[in-house]
Amino acid sequence: MKHGPAMHMGSSAKQLAAYEVKLKGKEQIAEDTCAFVFEKPKGFHFSAGQHVRMTLIDPSETDVKGNRRFFTMASTPGEPNLVFAMRMSDTAFKRVLSRMKVGEAVLIEKLLESPRGAFVLHEDAARPAVFIVGGIGIVPAYSMIKDAIRRKLRHKMFLFYSSRRPEDAPYLNELQSLAEQNPSFKLIATVTEPEKSVKAWQGETGSINRAMLEKHVDGLRSPIYYVAGLPEMVSAMQAVLSEAGVDKDNIRAEEFAGFRMGRNEHAPDSRMKNHLLIVASALVALAMIIAHVGGASHISLTALSFNNPLSYLVLGLLFGVVAFKVFALFRLKDLMRSRQGWKQLSARDILKAHKLTRKK
């Protein structure tokens, strides 16, 4: 069922369309990775590579991460169902989703119009498309490549696909078949830990780098690049492409920051890293000051001045305390924001905002 576009995402004025969709099935497609198949609502149109926001309806449990996630569809616009592939980390959202029975529903929302520069295939077929992905970042590339082949688009496409082992690579077999059957598509799959695999591996090994790109792509400056994976992988690939002279306007990136390969844990967001950097800097400064004080032969304890090393020790301690307080306040603010998000914006609230009209 469809609900009229009435909501806004964040502070922007982008209109959304909301749909309540029922689960049709699920399957494991790689180690710790599952695909969930949902019914495709009538009139649901999207572009390959486009993401949606999924919200659990009346979940049996929740946590500070909330009841909503952004997912890119692994299916194409021409397929009869909506397919979402994801790493199964140990969060309330994923646990509830994994326990869902066929026929139970979730809410999905999508933008009515894809913004310029969105993670969808460019129109100029004269420019090759180069996908650089790691792990679950394969999802948008898989959808875009399948769609381009189905529509017989003339784009030359290269996919550099990195994973730890073949067992960790969703849709690897399907992509190998597509590459064998379509000369316009070249798959360059690489594994970083082939020695840990129970399968024999004959392809590339090691991380994707400039040498690997130049080995398979003639002229790195001409293609449009699509980079998807963990934030650190995306950042590293952007740096490689920039050093190769690729214009930043020709690099489109999408980060998947919810899961680290081989460990059920969440990648820290950029704000958390900044807070930790502040604290670390304060501790380093404090250690240097203490070393300086310890090496001083004469210290006057009668007064604090900038000629007295003890003054620097006191200032260092104060700076450390302030940095810790700032860090704690930011963490408290993020926690409160997360809790308010899942308490105030439940699926029922969203359905109400969309003026839900049920069709029987």
**In the block, residue with structure tokens 């979940």:** 59
Torsion sign over Cα 157, 160, 165, 169: negative
Residue 305 burial (10 A CB sphere; 0-12, 13-18, 19+): exposed
**In the block, residue with structure tokens 């898989």:** 142
Which residues make beta-bridge pairs with 2? 19
Q: How far apart are CA 327 and CA 278, in angstroms?
A: 8
CA neighbor of 258 nearest in space, from 89, 99, 92: 89
Stated pTM of the model: 0.71
Strands across the sheet containing 185-191? 204-205, 185-191, 157-163, 129-134, 224-229, 251-255
Q: How many residues appear in the chain?
A: 360
Give the end-to-end CA distance of the chain in Å, rounded to a whole number: 9
- 8 A C-beta contact, residue 252 and residue 226: yes
In this prediction, residue 8 carries a pLDDT of 34
Judged by DSSP in three states, 49 sits in coil
In this prediction, residue 348 carries a pLDDT of 56
187: its two tokens? 């798959």
CA neighbor of 52 nearest in space, from 17, 27, 23: 17
- 8 A C-beta contact, residue 109 and residue 52: yes
- 8 A C-beta contact, residue 151 and residue 82: no
CA neighbor of 133 nearest in space, from 160, 113, 153, 104: 160
User: Which residues in the chain land under pLDDT 50?
Assistant: 1-13, 117, 258-273, 297-304, 333-344, 355-360
In this prediction, residue 107 carries a pLDDT of 97
Q: What angle do CA 345, 346, 352 make, to 5 degrees?
A: 90
Q: How far apart are CA 126 and CA 156, in angstroms?
A: 8
107: its two tokens? 């809410």
Q: How far apart are CA 221 and CA 230, in angstroms?
A: 24
Using only C-alpha atoms, the chain has a radius of gyration, in whole angstroms, of 25
- 8 A C-beta contact, residue 75 and residue 81: yes
140: its two tokens? 């948008």
Q: How far apart are CA 110 and CA 70, in angstroms?
A: 10
